[in-house]
Structure 1
Amino acid sequence: MMKRWFKYQALKLVRTKGEVTAVARGFCIGLAIEMFTLPTAGLAFFLIFPSVAVLRGRLASAFIGFVLGKVVYLPFAVLNERVGHWLLPEHFAVHFHMLPDWLNQLLTINLYLIAGGIVDGCILAMMVYFPLKKVLLWVQKHRRDNRRRAAHVIAD
């Protein structure tokens, strides 16, 4: 069942209309934003729209990257938290007097996850962009050649 779902997502990505670089860029935007959306209670999802517009990606591929990012988020959560500890000051903590201690600790952990997720998401997106672009170019060329061959067969 999962294999079929992944194949379907890959097929949707490959068939997304638009320039290959815009499709790859959109996918990477969605993937990067997913790396810090969970600790923000899903509000980071709304960053997809302006990010795609500013960086000129494809919205459809950004959504596919966002959905596939959910699959890889859990293994990256530990790394996100570690990177967040490296980025934020050593004794960083959230402390609102009106909130119970457990909620302050939860907010502190979420800030570590957000800080680390932003960095890890950007690095992951850069690592995925060029191989994805090459694969999309190869698939586009392969499909174009198949269409030409089919047109020649029909014409003959």
Structure 2
Amino acid sequence: MWKKILRKLKYEYIKLIRMKGAPSFVARGFSVGIFIEFITLPTLGLAFLLLFPMTRLFRCSFPASLIGFVFGKIVLPIFMLVNLKVGTTIIGNPLQEHVQHNHESFAGWLQWMKQNGIAYFTGSMVMGVLVAFGSYFLVNATLQWYRKKRARRPVATGRTSS
């Protein structure tokens, strides 16, 4: 299973770095996809509908934003508690309530989400912006490096001289 996941990630990476367009165009698309994924969980998947309008607004690559959206699904679980902590710091809801009521029914969880949903959404927005900026610069630098490396390669003609 892990080999399959790593193979898929490698394939998405190769698709991203071989994508046509200016590095900033592709990197902007990737970062928009990451940002949209960060705000997806609190909105129960409705943020996916924002993907196309946001790529039009920021004039970026839609395929790169889809790759960023998929990649965000892998990265987001790492940031879930951080998002809630940042949101509670900004909004002011205590994080300890969830720890105390961790083993409640679905109704208890729903009540907790209703109380802390705004804090989580706020934290997701803040961390989404930070991760999107970081991913923009990372993808932009990677694309520039790859294209310089590829430009230095000798071009093979495919013919052999006899």
Asked whether the two chains share a fold, i.e. TM above 0.5, the reply is: yes
Q: Which runs of 5+ in 2 are unaligned?
A: 95-106
Alignment identity in percent? 36
Q: Tell me what 1:149 maps to.
A: 155
Q: Which runs of 5+ in 1 are unaligned?
A: 92-99
- 2:37 is the alignment partner of 1:31: no
Aligned AA (1:60): P
Q: Is the 8 A contact 1:13 1:61 kept in 2?
A: yes
Q: Tell me what 1:97 maps to.
A: none
- 2:140 is the alignment partner of 1:133: yes
Q: Tell me what 1:44 maps to.
A: 47
Q: Is the 8 A contact 1:40 1:110 kept in 2?
A: no
Aligned counterpart in structure 2 of residue 115 of structure 1, from 122, 133, 138: 122
TM-score normalised according to structure 1 size: 0.83
Distance 1:52 1:46 in 2: 11
Query: How has the CA–CA distance of structure 1 residues 155 and 50 changed in structure 2, closer, same or farther, with 3 Å as cutoff?
Result: farther
Distance 1:7 1:90 in 2: 40
How many residues align structurally? 146
TM-score normalised according to structure 2 size: 0.80
Query: How has the CA–CA distance of structure 1 residues 141 and 116 changed in structure 2, closer, same or farther, with 3 Å as cutoff?
Result: same
CA RMSD between the two structures: 2.1
In the TM superposition, what whole-angstrom CA distance separates every residue of 1:68-92 from its partner, at most 9, and x where no partner exists?
111111110000000110121448x
- 2:76 is the alignment partner of 1:73: yes
Distance 1:9 1:108 in 2: 37
Aligned AA (1:149): V
